[in-house]
Structure 1
Amino acid sequence: MRIDPEGRNAQGITTFVLFVVLNVLYIVTCLPLVTIGAATSALYEVTLRYADEERGDLIRGYFRALRKTWWRATLVQLLLGVPTAMLAFSAVFWLTMDGVVTAVAGLLAALGSLLGAAALLYGFALVAWFDAPLRRTLHNAVLLPLVEPARTMGLVLLPVTAGCLVFVMPQAVVVVATIGFSVGAYVSALVLHDVFRRRQADPSELEPISPHSGQ
């Protein structure tokens, strides 16, 4: 059997391998934990570019994005991630106790942690795709879940579904370890492109943002 290197099959295999390599790179660069924000922003940048008419190099682009976004993404991780983690801990704490008041407090904390998680994802994506001061990035990241509730739900459900799948079927961790993060980011990128286009066309209460130069 002859394989045409320019054919669809060969291109599909090459793309699959690149997404596997990208997935492994993402996991490795997340291992120090404090680099999760920078790694996620870099992953969003290359997948946002790829989702936009398959532009950019996935692997070399990832390293470039990692160097470019690390400090802003790390600050977003600290400023949005720490309060979100505290709310999630509070939700677990209150929901393990008996009583109506503690149940209400737990549910409010859980809702706050979900909104915080959505704002965190938006924050990483905004760092990846836009040139903006940190204050403006945080402002827009917090508001986007409120002005785009339907798309935000889809954005948050992706990692939640993956986590539930691994919990129910531990063998699914193999899929997550090979293509789960990179393909999940690509699907998220399609949602994010839609959100960003809508918000740029009708910014409403969001502060103005402009794409990175060179895109």
Structure 2
Amino acid sequence: MKHFLSMEGPVYRILTRFVELIVLNGLFLLFCIPIFTIGASTTALYSVTLKMVRNEESGVYSGFVQAFKKNFKQSTSIWILLMFAGLILYLDYLYLGLYEGDFTLLIILSLFFFTCIYLLLTILIFPYVARFKNTIRESVVNAMKIAITNPFQTISVLIFSIGPVLLIFFSPYLFLLALYLSIFLGFSLVAYLNSFLLRNIYEKY
């Protein structure tokens, strides 16, 4: 029992990790405030969590700030491109609501396909940038290749990432719960869980 509760025991390690994730979540939200820095903040978040699951972390704050500065330019460029692509998709859906011509089904299927690609890229590109050093084009292509060649792990990452967002639409209680968790732990916990899956994928490369 003494070993179980000691600083070397599992309880202490779990509590330490829990506190680290709370601090990391706070850093992520703080660095997301200017909006255009969300990409760099997400990359820094995954840089820390990917090291956590490999037991390589050297400090949450220092690791986050270093990764944020290191990947700022590339991650911000990718985030701006994703926002622009998301705006185009949004306008396409607005247009679809007004469209009364032929080939409606084809347009819906095309939009669904591009939406899936957009979601995959949005969720997977920043962990990839956190782990590998490539150009923006190479990062986009390689992230999609990894998603296609590892479908089961990719689906699991999507469930962890999108699942909590979908739950908030079921009831006001779930919305408030998700909001509360997001403020204190939600984003870092999702990234941490995803990092276990991503670690297994990235080790192949």
Normalized against structure 2, the TM-score is what? 0.84
Answer yes or no: is 1:179 the counterpart of 2:185: yes
Counterpart position of 1:189: 195
Between the two structures, name the one with larger relative contact order (CA 8 Å, sep ≥ 6): 2
> How far, CA to CA, are the matches of 1:163 and 1:122 in structure 2?
17
Q: State percent identity of aligned pairs.
A: 25
C-alpha displacement at 1:174, in angstroms?
0.8
Q: Counterpart amino acid of 1:10?
A: Y
2:42 is aligned, of 40, 43, 55, to 40
Superposed counterparts of 1:1-215, under 5 Å: 4-53=6-55, 55-91=57-93, 93-94=95-96, 101-168=103-170, 169-172=174-177, 173-198=179-204, 200=205
| SS, match of residue 55 in structure 1 | coil
> How far, CA to CA, are the matches of 1:194 and 1:10 in structure 2?
26
| SS, match of residue 58 in structure 2 | coil
C-alpha contact 1:122 1:144 (8 A) present in aligned 2: no
Which consecutive unaligned segments of at least 5 residues does structure 2 have?
Answer: none
Deviations 1:89-116 (A, max 9, x none): 4235425766773343133213212211
> How far, CA to CA, are the matches of 2:34 and 2:53 in structure 1?
28
Q: Which moved more, 1:106-115 or 1:5-14?
A: 5-14
| SS, match of residue 131 in structure 1 | coil
| SS, match of residue 165 in structure 2 | helix
Which consecutive unaligned segments of at least 5 residues does structure 1 have?
Answer: 201-215
CA RMSD of aligned residues (A): 2.4
